[in-house]
Each structure stands twice: as C-alpha cells, then as structure tokens.
Amino acid sequence: MGRLAKPQLPAGQAGLGRGARIIPHFFRVLRACPVIARSGPFAVGIAPLMLATMRIWFWRLFWLGLGLFLGAVGPTIVYLNRVVDARFDLGKQPVASRVYARPLVLQPGMRISADLLQIELSEARYRSDVTASAPGSYRRDGEHFEIHTREFAFSDGEERSERIDVLLEKGRVKRLMRLPDRQALARKRLDPARIATIMPADDTERLPLAIKDMPGLLVAGIQSVEDRNFKDHPGIDVWGIARAMWANLKARRWVQGGSTITQQLVKNTMLSNARDFRRKSREIGLALLIDARFDKRTILEAYLNKAYIGQNGALAVHGFGAGAEFYFGRSLESLDPAEIALLIGLVKGPSYYDPRRNPERAIARRRVVLGQMLETGLISQALYQEALKAPLAVVPRPPSRVRYPAFVQLVREQIRRDYDQERLQSEGLSVLTTLDPGAQALAEAALTKTVNAVDPDKLLQGAVVLTRARDGEVLALVGGRDPREAGFNRAIEASRPVGSLLKPFVYLLALSQPARYSLASLISDAPINLKLPTGKVWKPQNYDRKTHGTVPLVDALARSYNLATARVGLDIGVQSLARLIDNMGVQAPSDPQPSLILGSIGLSPLEVAQLYQTLASGGQVVPISAVRAVLDDSGKALTRFPRPVGNPAGADVVKLVTVALNETTLSGTASSLSGGSGIRLDSAGKTGTSDDMRDSWYAGYTGEHLAVVWLGRDDNQPTKLSGSTGALKVWTALFRQLPSADLRLEFSDAIRWLPFDTGDNCGRIRFYPVLPPYEPANTRSCMEQLTVP
C-alpha cells in the first residue's frame, strides 16, 4: 500500500502554525470518512500527530491562563498577605493596667457597720443573691452576711474563692467562719474593688488568655454555635456561603454572611463592618491565607481573645477574658455553663443582646446557645435544664474607667517616676492602692450633703483628704462637691491660705525647748506692732478684735489667739518655722515673713495633711502615700511602697501639742465636737479661717484617722464661713459615720503631770504634762498649794 500524499493547504492557511493548520483539516477529513480515523494508515500516522498537537495546545493554554490569573490575582494575594503580616498580630497585645482599692480584711472584733460592709461589697461589684452561690455574690439579713468571695492574686500569694459567714453586732465583727464546714476564721481578705483602668491608646479593654487557660466548654461551645466545620474547612465554608447567598436572594437584601470563625476573626481585626461584595471577597481571601499560614489552635485562640463582646462607654471590650470581668466581675475560668453560654451568645450582637439593657433578649439568646450545646453533646439534659433556670447573674454595673478621679490622679502622680504612660497602657499592670471604698463613700457623702445644706446656690466648693494616722496611707480623697467630676482637683491643686492651721507647728517648736516653754507657760496676748524691713508695720489682730491679757500656752493654741501666737513665733524665729515646714515634706517660702506665723501661705489640702500627718502619727515624719505595690501581669511585685515604722524622736513634744489640740475640741474653736451636735469620739484638731472668710479649714485626727477639710469658692470670694461653721461640720459628718478609734496618748517616763497657775495666783489650778526641767521660767508652779502639811 502506498503512502498518502502530503495534503495541500487551502488558500489563507499558509501562514498558520502546524497545529493550527492540521486540526481544521483533520476534522474535515474525519467528518468525510469516519472509518479512516479508526483504521488504515491514518490510525498509524495522523492520530499520534493530532494528539501531540493537542498536548502542545493544552499546555500553551494552561500557561496562558495561569499567567492571566497570576497577573490579575497575584498582586491581590501579595497585598492580602501583607495585610495579614501587618494586622494579624499574634504577639503580646497592649493590655490595660488596672487600679485597685485596698482589700477589705475581715477579722473578729474589727469595727465595721453592716451598712459600711454593704458599701464595700457594692463598690467591689458584688451582687445581691439569695443563695450567694456564685463567686462575687452575697446575701444580707440585717447584720448577718453570707459572702461568696472571688479569687485574687496578691503579691504575697493567691487568695482563693470561698463562701464565708459574717455576723456583726454593735458595729463589730462578732463571728467569721467558712461555709459549709463552719470553721472559724482568724481573718479573710476579700478581693479588692477595681477603681480605675489605664487604657491602651486604642481604647480597647482586653485580657488575653492562652487557650489552655480557657474553659473547655467555651472552646467547644463557640465552635458548636459559630462554626461547626471549623476543624475541617480551609478558612471558608462553601456550603455556609451558599446557604447565606440563598437567604440573601430570598430576602432581596443582605441578611446572612455565612462567616466562619476565621472570617469573623478577619472582620474583627482587619476589615470594616461594611456589608458589600468587595469587603466580602477580601474577607474570603484573607481567611484562606490565614488558614493556610496558621494552625487551627492559633486561629481559635486569637478569635477568643479578639472577638468584640461589649461596650463600656467609649471603651470596646474584646475577648472572652475581658468579657467575663465586664459582665460578671469574675475570671473566665470561674464561670458556669449558663454564664459561658451568655458570653457566646453575645458575639452575635453585643448591643442587641446586652443583658443589662435587654435582659429578655439575652435570656432568649442564651437559650439558643444552650440548645446547640445540648444538640452537639457538650452538656447533658440535666445541665441544660439547670442552666435555663439560672439568672443572668451579671453585675449591676460595668467597671468604671475612673471611678474616683481625684484619688486616681494622686496615684498617677506617685507612680509616674517609676512607670511612664506607655508602660501603664500596655503591660497589664495591677496597681494596688490604699483607697478604702467605704471611707471614700462616707467622705463624699459628708462633703456633698454639708455643702448642699449651707450653699443652695452651688457656688461653694470643697475637698477632703482622709489618711490613716499611723502611716499616712490615703484612705479617701475628694476633689470637689461633685466627686465623680474629673477636672480641677482641689484636694491636690487648690493652693489656698491656711490661716491658723500653722499655729500648732509654731508651738511645736516652742515646746521643743522645755526649759523655756511648756503648756503651762503664760503668754501675753497684748497688741504687737512690728516694723518690717520694707518700712511697713505688721499689726496682727485676733479674730474677735480683742486682747486677752496673759494666757496659758495651751489656751493660746486651743482658742487660736493670734497675738499670743505671733509673740511666740517671733521668739522662736520665722526661719525656724520655715525649716520645720520643709522638713515635714512641704515647700515653705524661701524668704519667710512674720505673717507666715499666722498662716500666710498657700497650701493644698493634701499638703496640709502632710504637715498634720506628723502630729497624727505621734511624731513620725511619713510621706503620704496612695500606692502599696505594683504587680506585673503574673502577680509578681515589681515595686513595693513600704511604710516607716518605729518610735520617732521627739514624740513626747508632739504629744504635748496633741494635748493642746484636744483642748481645742473641748473648750476651744472646735468645741462643737463635744457638744450636743458633736460626736462621741476623742480627737484633736485645729480650725483655720483666712482673711475675709475666703477659706474654711479643719484638720483633725483621732487614734486611727486624720482628715483635712477645706471649703471655699473657686473665684476666691468670701464664703461667710469660718473654720468652725464650715469645714468642721463636714469633718463632724464624716466621723459620725466612720468607725474610728478614740485618741489615746501614752507618754514616756520623762513626762510628769504637774499643777500650774492659770494666771490667778493659783486660785485656779490645772495639771499639765511637762518635760524636764518641769518648771520653765515663764510658768508658776502650784505645788506648794497642793502640799499636805
């Protein structure tokens, strides 16, 4: 059989390639004679040629298509990959630092009223519950409390969560025991109230946790509700998207997104909430990339820490760790199934299902989540029924960013030297402070109610500083008549003339010279005319514009006589007074004038408290402090702020001044304290009034507390209030409610109580504590008149 002749190309095909020429001709021949394709020489020669040509064209078309695809899609993939690198940060997230009050330590015998204990629990966001079954709840029946405490990591160890029984009687703890074994407790430290949050710059509250530290029910439950195919799909769920598209078509609007957990993570961290095709396509691309680059465990942990779960004012709450504290005031690991189900349900719509504003919706959503947990076998039927009946159990209010702005300002100032703002905003530190929430509430109420009563025009302002007498810890600080108002903090920033508040320190210097001065020293209250270097004449006057002859030193201070005090101050020296003020931690004028003796200096209430702290502590010069310790995110102490201890030098002299200031509350300018409208509490203190009654002051201390009160106007106009008619009323209102110890003085063996003349040739004899040599030159002893023959 001869070979077939080479076919001739039709006109117009001479310039085509071999494949382009053969394939059309081949198909024409094949249509004309189908048998040729299956037999004869065609099967031997033409068919292999055709197949080779088709393979060539297949690969040409494949590479052409791939090139077109990469040319169009490749830059998009590169761009999305860069987005993942830039925004999908799996490193350490900036975490807010939290500021805590001091923990309440309950002990048998301690002073605390039932109302004050309830204030403490309320400020710590404990919720009232008839069963007190969950951590962070309590039950009250009169003076009987059952409290279910929360765990907390202190610098000296973790305080565990447990149920305790507290019985009060007559303002003291009568019984303290643990339930249910009813074992008596020597002490129980409650978790402290969170009083402020120093937020990251992005105003996001988060508390990242490793997935191993999260409840297993949460980890499995979020998958059963949000993405049951999470472990199997490549980042997107095709069937889920198809279902969502069908639902959108039927509704003729965007009603479902069909998003997987990975897609939700993308939306929460890298994209806006817009609902359009372009954003959805980017979401899908990013989800595929993230799933290809990271393992499922990493993706799920990131989702659980970044999911948007609520809004606290201007602060966005992200992650289930922060969500547990925001809604329940507890750690995530302590939540029960009903609470976990509520958190999972909130992912769908934190605002719509907000359990505080929309409890019915929240309960309905929780029911849906619990049903899906039951359907997937995560919980039993019995547990499902129990969780359905459980209350929402959310705390009444979310934590405030800054609940006590005046106090928190002091905290910031005191830790600023050790911790800059960037560190506070990113490292999740715990700042343990000295604030006593109960005392703070009482101080706020005392100031607000008193000022409202005496000033209906709302022109009067005020401030209160309350410290612990022995060590200077700030227990309460109020910066204005509206305690929650941030802004000008009068307790720290208002520098006002202090008037007579400096007089105790004039006499402290005098009594430090026992050979010259004692409480029995007779001081002239006659007029003074002192020519100053400037040529002016200093002519101080008494408040009542009268003179009082010769008076004992103790009365000159108790009754706040200006002329007698000025005479003593000039004798000891104005420079000595200025040095004493400096040594006590308050800046004095560099060129002091005689008027400093009578309080011609502007100080803030906090600075006045710093001065009086030396008197209240019995002579210990202690810096006032608002911070106890700073802990890192693992509970390890980074910085401690220890308080000085010990018996200070010169304690007896300080106690002599306290004797005179105690007389102030009995017969002097603060005698209303011991009257019918006063309080049953031994104390010492000093009133102060500036010129024209522009400032009303009172600084007083008991055996346990020191409080400084200032009243005045921001425009510096007269208030028509003296220290005794204004600030003293606030102090009285505070200590009428605040449990405190009576003032008790214990002198050394060097002190003797001796009889002295009060200025009437021993017609009136008073006993005074005095130091050696026991008979200063300016006193008259009455020992002979008391000697028995």
Scan for tokens 């949000």, then name that residue.
226
Q: What is the C-alpha R_g of the chain?
A: 41
- CA 520: distance to chain centroid? 50
Question: What's the angle, vertex CA 406, arms to CA 400 and CA 412, rounded to 5?
Answer: 85
Distances (CA, A) of 360 to 229, 323, 355, 365: 30, 19, 8, 9
Phi then psi for residue 595, to 5 deg, are -65, -15
**Residues with Cβ < 8 Å from 407, sequence gap 6 or more?**
195, 433, 435, 440, 474, 476, 477, 626
CB 724 within 8 A of CB 437: no
What kind and span of H or E run contains 522? Answer: strand 522-524
- Token code pair at residue 375: 């359907």
Active site residue 226: yes
Phi then psi for residue 192, to 5 deg, are -80, 155
Phi then psi for residue 486, to 5 deg, are -80, 155
3-state SS of 43-71 is: HHHHHHHHHHHHHHHHHHHHHHHHHHHHH
How far apart are alpha carbons 564 and 506 in whole angstroms? 11
How far apart are alpha carbons 629 and 642 in whole angstroms? 9
CB atoms within 10 A of CB 400: 16
**Residues with Cβ < 8 Å from 171, sequence gap 6 or more?**
111, 112, 113, 739
> Which of 743-758 are b and which e, b meaning 16 or more Cβ less than 10 Å from the residue's Cβ?
bebeeeeebeebbbbb
The two beta strands, 204-206 and 315-318, are parallel
CB 571 within 8 A of CB 776: no
Scan for tokens 């978790």, then name that residue.
191
**Residues with Cβ < 8 Å from 587, sequence gap 6 or more?**
581
Catalytic, out of 159, 226, 339, 444? 226
Catalytic, out of 331, 500, 604, 696? 500
Residue of 441, 439, 438, 464 lying closest to 451 (CA atoms): 464
Phi then psi for residue 449, to 5 deg, are -65, -40
CB 104 within 8 A of CB 299: no
Burial class (CB in 10 A: 0-12, 13-18, 19+), 658: buried
**Residues with Cβ < 8 Å from 645, sequence gap 6 or more?**
471
Distances (CA, A) of 150 to 145, 521, 554: 15, 59, 52
CB 783 within 8 A of CB 755: yes
Burial class (CB in 10 A: 0-12, 13-18, 19+), 440: buried
3-state SS of 665-694 is: HHHCCCHHHHCCCCCCCCCEEEEEECHHHC
How far apart are alpha carbons 556 and 664 in whole angstroms? 10
Residue of 602, 523, 614 lying closest to 570 (CA atoms): 523
CB 317 within 8 A of CB 323: yes
Point out the residues that are catalytic: 226, 500
